[in-house]
Structure 1
Amino acid sequence: MVPHVAPRITFAMPFYRGLDHLVSALSSVLAQTIPDWEAIVVDDAGPESAEAVVAGFNDPRIRYVRNETNLGLAGNWNTALSLATTELVTIFHCDDELEPHYAATMIDLMARHPNAVAGHCRVRLIDESGQPTRTLADTVKAWLTPRFRGDLETTGDRGLRSLVRANWIFCPTVCYRRALVPAAPFDKRWRFVLDLDVMRRFLFDGHVIVGTDAVAYRYRRHADNQTKLLGADFSRHDEELSFAAEVAEQAKQQGWSATARTARRAPVVRANLLTEAASALFKRDGRRFRGALRRAVRGLPSSR
């Protein structure tokens, strides 16, 4: 029996489907080196109920909530965040896993930086079966990630430019300081850039985001991964380009010239599209080739 201690961090876990991964995710929560956490599985009225899985763990620190209707990605993330009772909250994706020291690492990181609105860590990439993996996109992302040892504070124009350039923070690792986060921070317009959108608003508002070089999270790449699904029909790329247009306009108005330039160029998005075009050409998929190439070379859409 786990002794009762007041939780210091919440794992808010939006769930839609994938019970096997949920079991692994919750098992990694239970394996934390410290006991003072709570976990809330927020079931978004999906095709698979997670209630029995949660009950099977028989731990009072793990709660289950099911939405009456499907709220969508942003809506469920906002609900999960709102249910937390602790100062620190992680939107923990149910298809990923935590390293045993994640909670202790993030609590210590946020204590060292009491003014930070959010903290993040490095990841170990795993595949469907939990084995190490790495994609070309991961290699490029690693190359564009700032080099640092210890802690890194991301602020202002320079910080946002680096995020717009490569979105190098793995969003599920982010631990939020609830008191500094506005209500319902996740915008329902977005499906892929939800996290980056929140980060840009934090930075435009003058907040500090802090990272640690500790590897404390296991990020899973698999066929049902949201990133992969949204890339199949270019909806991911279209969203990224629309977001870049918004950031470029806001940065221009705020006088953040480095961010504005990088957002207008959207170099990584365009590079990804050119890679898609080359792959489609190799596979003799003319329709996908034309779609990728057209998006890669055209200007940004009008900002909203």
Structure 2
Amino acid sequence: MTVEFMMPFYGSFALLRTAVESVLAQDDDDWVLTVLDDAYPDPEPGRWVQSLEDERIRYLRNTENLGVSGNFRKCADLATESLVCMIGCDDVVLPGYVRRMKCLATAHPEASYLQPGVVVISEDGSEVSPLADRVKRFYAPSRRPSVLQGPALARSLSRACWTYFPSICWRLETLRSFPFDAGLDVALDLDVQLRIADAGGALVVDDVITFHYRRHRASVSSWKADDGSRFIEERTVLDAAAARAQARGWTRAQRAARLRLSSRLSAITRLPSAVRARHARGIAALVRHALS
């Protein structure tokens, strides 16, 4: 059971090196890594990856820039191994990630995907606890490891998307059955997870910390939150989830998706930065989402 790391790249060479080196440091060698370069203008990162000369590592380069979500979708299409982690090029896997994910996948054959224990780090690598991540911890299952499935999973994720997309270990058949929506840039992971829940799929949530998720202001999710477009996507995804839950008679999941309380509160917290930037459209979008 091989773990395949698919790493979309566009950005910091230094952080890419840290991410790749964290994969190389795994204490279980049963892994492969693909770095998918999204036409980054500097050729040096690609040359460095190729210079590693490790048969488990391949470097591919897009002929044109696909954007963050487009490159993630291409990574999903290129994956071939039974377990897949679409790690960000600025994140870090701890040495036990591969071993732990293989253990969980074996112990839980019913699991569609696995959420490892995660620590959030800043740009300089120090542990941090921003408001968004404190909210995630509030809504995430308190008892771990735990399994959420069907209506319970739909309700939990509709209350707040508390998972960490780049850390997730997906079964390949899950990615094949639930492709990412090409119309989404930021909420594509929430959409996939809610569709998995709708189909009766299961998520295993682990308590062992094996992943460092890097949070910084330059991320796509951060600036799309300030201009309001992230919340438009979330509202679209949650409205669709509410309709599916209603059709299935999942009353609590439907109510959570309609209320979307944490999403609306998150929009309110983004208002000050939108006001400081004098982003009129962003302010209007954030207010509209918060009050909807």
Q: TM-score, normalised by structure 1?
A: 0.88
User: What is the 5 A alignment of 1:73-152?
Assistant: 73-149=68-144, 151-152=145-146
Q: 2:217 aligns with which of 185, 206, 223?
A: 223
Provide closer, same or farther for how the CA distance between residues 63 and 189 of structure 1 changes in structure 2, counting only shifts above 3 A: same
> CA RMSD of the aligned region, Å?
2.1
Q: Distance in 2 between matches of 1:184 and 1:68?
A: 26
The CA distance in 2 between the partners of 1:290 and 1:74, in whole Å, is 25
Give unpaired runs (5+ residues) of structure 2.
none
Q: Which amino acid aligns with 1:48?
A: D
- Equivalent residue letter for 1:28: S
Most deviating of 236-245 and 31-40:
236-245
Query: How far did residue 104 of structure 1 move?
Result: 0.7
Count matched residues. 290
Cα distance in 2 between the residues matched to 1:197 and 1:125 = 23
Q: Deviations 1:223-260 (Å, cap 9, x if unpaired)? A: 22221121121111111112121111121122221111
- 1:116 is paired with a residue of what secondary structure? coil
CA contact (8 A) 1:18 1:48 kept: no
Partner Cα distance (2:131, 2:86) in 1 = 26
Task: Specify the alignment match of 1:11 in structure 2.
Answer: 5
Tell me the residue number matched to 2:181. Answer: 187
Q: How far did residue 289 of structure 1 move?
A: 5.1
Q: Say if 1:74 and 1:187, in contact at 8 Å, map to a contact too.
A: no
- Cα drift, residue 160 of structure 1: 0.9
What is the CA distance between 1:271 and its match in structure 2?
0.8
Deviation at 1:190, TM superposition (A): 0.8
Q: Decide whether the 8 Å contact of 1:17 with 1:47 is kept in 2.
A: no
SS at match of 1:68: coil
- In structure 1, C-alpha distance between the alignment counterparts of 2:97 and 2:39, rounded to whole Å: 29
Read off the aligned partner of 2:136 and give its amino acid letter: K
CA distance in structure 1 between the partners assigned to 2:56 and 2:246 by the alignment? 46
Once residues 69 and 286 of structure 1 are traced to their aligned partners in structure 2, the CA distance between those partners, rounded to angstroms, is 30
Matched, 1:213 2:212: no
> Residue 199 of structure 1: which of 167, 172, 193 is its match?
193
Residue 285 of structure 1: CA displacement? 5.6
Residue identity (%): 35
Match of 2:265, SS state, is helix
Q: Which residue of 2 is the match for residue 266 of structure 1?
A: 260
Once residues 223 and 297 of structure 1 are traced to their aligned partners in structure 2, the CA distance between those partners, rounded to angstroms, is 25
CA distance in 1, matches of 2:224, 2:134: 20
1:255 to 249, 252, 258: 249
Distance in structure 1 (CA, Å) of the matches to 2:240 and 2:215? 29
* In 2: Cα distance, 1:192 partner to 1:172 partner: 12
